[in-house]
Amino acid sequence: MKLILASGSPRRKQLLAGLDIPFEVRLLSGIDENYPAELPAHDVALYCASKKAQAYIPTLADDELLITADTVVVLPSATPGGHARVLGKPRDEAEAEAMLAELSGRTHQVITGVCLTTTGRQRRFDVTTDVTFARLTPEQIHYYVSQYHPMDKAGAYGVQEWIGYVAVSDMHGSFFNVMGLPVQRIYQELQAMNYEL
């Protein structure tokens, strides 16, 4: 089977390459990544990864295995009984700074939904990592956003960048998941599918 990564993310390409499995990147444009407003926050990543997989299925050959993924940051409600919120990619620097101000001093979840899809079957799973941020000053937040421009990252941050060094005080779960691809779990799932590694 040929492995296909349906992502233009340089971080996902780097992480998958770390498994030493040959793969190629395939990109489709115009995929609708919206999700129903009533969908629970913790289900959004897997819903979006599945939606991407459906768009790619017509392009798959019988000897291809497709990886689609979607990563979101979920911020628990600050009030009892409230709803968790999904922090996606910020629209601009002001929204990026607002997101980081909300994450400051709090614990959030980074969830990546993954689909491994062939023409005949599909394995779906998600991986959650709990990340705690130390308190950040407005100056630190502004510095990071102005220097690193994290508009292509869920929750407005890349854990492998400066912000990860100064803000992440605690983490439970996969570091690579926070970067955007839970490669250890993907490796396990490929083995379970009898993919020749």
Name the residue type at position 90. Answer: P
Which of 8, 112, 7, 122 shows the shortest CA–CA distance to 65? Answer: 122
Give the CA angle between residues 30, 128, 178 to the nearest 5°. 65
Task: Please calculate the CA angle 92-94-100 and round it to the nearest 5 degrees.
Answer: 105
Render 10-22 in DSSP notation, one character per residue: HHHHHHHHTTT--
SS3 72: strand
Which residue of the set 20, 32, 43, 70 is catalytic? 70
172/178 Cα distance (integer angstroms): 11
How far apart are alpha carbons 82 and 166 in whole angstroms? Answer: 29
Q: Does 70 qualify as catalytic in the annotation? A: yes
Residues noted as catalytic: 70
